[in-house]
Amino acid sequence: MKTERTERTEKGEARPADPPARRAPRRKEVLIRGIAVSPGIANGEVFDTTEPPAEAPRRQIEAEAVDAEKHRLAAAVATSRKQVGKLKTRLSVLPEEAQEELEPLLDAYALMLGDSRLIRGARKRIEHELLAAETAVADEAEAIAEVILAARDDDKAGLKRRAGEVREIARRLTRNLTQNPFRSFKDVPEGAILVAEELTPADAALLDPSRIAGVATEEGGADGHTAIMLRALGIPAVLGAPGLTEAARRGDQAVLDGAAGTIALHPTAATVAHAKEQLAAYARERQRLGKLRRLPAVTTDGELVELQANLEIPAELPLIAQAGAQGIGLLRSEFLFMNREDLPDEDDQFAAYAPIVAAMNGDPITIRVLDWGGEKDMQALAAGIESQHAGPNPALGLRGIRMLLKRPELLEEQFAAILRVAAQAPEGAVRVMLPMVTVPEEVKAAREIYERVAKRVRRRGEKLPEKLPELGAMIETPGAALAADAIALEADFFAIGTNDLAMYTLAVDRGEADVAHLYDPLHPAVLRLMQFATEAALRLRMPVSVCGEMAGNPRLVPLLLGLGIRCLSMNASAIPRVKQAVRALDIGDCARFARRVMEQSDPARIRELVDGFATGVTERG
């Protein structure tokens, strides 16, 4: 029998009750995958932030308007410089790591807003092509970016980062020319997950890590300045997530996993519960890895392993300190030569190296001299070696030490600067590394120049170390690996660059989509070349390290130690987990494992063995 629900009024009278409210249908969980950039879990509401586009319609001008457009450009440059200056004042409220990350970048922005190629090129386009200032800036910036991105360079991430810097300054100039407003983060609620199409490093500087739970963007990658900033700020982040801004709406509940690179929109109760568990587990993991910072990287049977960091730009120094690196195993000096039309002289280079050496406070630093092969954005060098710059295959041409020996004045300037800065560090802390060595004669010729420069610098009264810094060789081609026993007689140490070694051995460019799947550092040919070079060094009791991506992979550490490597240099962020792996290993087990791997001829079987050994170590740990 159907009964009618009733309720009483304040006067006690009965009246029909309101029907029960219908629940809104629950939206289905949507999982979006992107690039894992900054580890951590965020559970909160989406706050979407958009920025008015910085583009402006293409515009031609009349000849009589040229001076007016140049004045507009000058005014926009002046305004942009003031804005960059204000951003620098903002640094004081950021964590120390973020301050040290952003300051060099803002300095680079300020330089680009000076008498740079971008500004000079824009002026020329206004004069000769009769373009409006914003059109001239956009065209010149894109021309520079295309030159950078078209380069044949194994360091694709570095190329993208440099192109992004140029485009970012162009966008800032365009906003100021067109008076388009910049993005504001004042209204972001506490605990929100910030969602945007893209974030610039300057945007990241405005974020308050105590208020924002996480960041997700549709554009961006793991190696850009924005990613480095977010890691320095400690904000969980996922970048490069296609379809994100279309799917996410302000107020949507979301769970972001910065380690897995995922964003779950409208998460289920199970997803939220799992996120809360992960938050607690992640806090414990960070605490455990943080404790490793001051502990030695020593195996269970007492073998000490040196864990060092690779440094591409000075902005990465805070990450190196934070990770607990035992020095810099590879300081790439190319940053000194990028985005400029003149060459840095000895004093310029000394001024760049000195703060890095000072920051490392006596820890070892290995500086690789200029590694250029016509493919990087170095106009002043390209002008001097025009035939190589236009060559069809720079990777097989006049690059690395070959180019430096052809233009010894470049090597002399760099040697002199490094020798001077080495005097400011404890003896032996600074070492010099030669790139792309293939024959012993290259090391011998470089050493003759090295010793000649040292005598000249001493004669002019400069203080130099009593014992010259060691001079080592990069082993990054099959020829160098197979000639390692002869090269070892001329060099003081080896560094095996596994990225290039695998590329040259397998004839695979990882940047080429059609063949990238063939790139495999666990290919037996690559491993045998590494073994040959390592054994050549160990026979002479000469230091040997690995400084490619293999060094930063915890699952490959047992194999590298088993081959006899005791020094690994990697991206700073990889050091804590590699140290954790080292501290769970026994050298005897690693040696037996490496012998078993080196008996194999099938890459798939090698991967199977590597995965099995790593899993066993994890379970025992």
User: Which amino acids are annotated as binding site for Mg(2+), given as ranges?
Assistant: 476, 500
Sequence-separated contacts (24+) of 211-215 with Cβ below 8 Å: 212/188, 213/42, 213/43, 213/44, 213/256, 214/40, 214/41, 214/42, 214/44, 214/238, 214/256, 214/258, 215/38, 215/239
Give the angle 297-320-236 at the CA atoms, nearest 5°: 105
Please choose, from the candidates 63, 619, 577, the residue with its C-alpha nearest in 3D space to the C-alpha of residue 289. 577
Structural contact between residues 428 and 361, judged by C-beta atoms closer than 8 angstroms:
no
Using the 8-state DSSP alphabet, how is residue 27 labeled?
P
**Percent of the chain that is helix, strand, coil (3-state, to 5):** 50, 15, 35
Please choose, from the candidates 254, 241, 229, the residue with its C-alpha nearest in 3D space to the C-alpha of residue 197. 241
Give the Cα separation of 565 and 297 in Å (integer): 13
| 63 φ/ψ sector (left φ>0, alpha ψ -120 to 50, else beta) | alpha
What string of DSSP letters covers 335-392? GGTTT-SS---HHHHHHHHHHHHHHHTT--EEEEPP---S-SS-HHHHHHSHHHHT-S
Q: In sequence order, what are the residues at sequence separation of 6 or more whose Cβ sits closer than 8 angstroms to the Cβ of residue 545?
A: 306, 308, 329, 493, 494, 495, 496, 551, 565, 567, 568, 569
Structural contact between residues 212 and 188, judged by C-beta atoms closer than 8 angstroms:
yes
Enumerate the known binding-site residues: 332, 368, 476, 499-500, 510
Structural contact between residues 555 and 611, judged by C-beta atoms closer than 8 angstroms:
yes
Q: Quick one: which H or E segment has residue 237?
A: strand 237-239
In this structure, which amino acid lies at residue 233?
A: L
Handedness of CA 247, 252, 255, 256 (dihedral sign): positive
Q: Which of 389, 523, 547, 590 is catalytic?
A: 547
Distance of CA 577 to the CA centre of its chain: 18
* Encoded tokens for 520: 């495999």
How many residues in total does the chain contain?
621
Structural contact between residues 363 and 529, judged by C-beta atoms closer than 8 angstroms:
no
Burial of 285 (0-12, 13-18, 19+ CB in 10 A): middle
Give the angle 93-100-41 at the CA atoms, nearest 5°: 70
Query: Is residue 567 flagged as an active site residue?
Result: no
Q: Which of 225, 389, 523, 590 is catalytic?
A: 225
Query: Is residue 128 flagged as an active site residue?
Result: no
In a 13 Å sphere around the CA of 566, the CA atoms on its Cβ side amount to 16
Enumerate the known binding-site residues for phosphoenolpyruvate: 332, 368, 499-500, 510
Is residue 264 helix, strand or coil? strand
Give the Cα separation of 133 and 580 in Å (integer): 54
Where in the sequence numbering do the catalytic residues fall? 225, 547
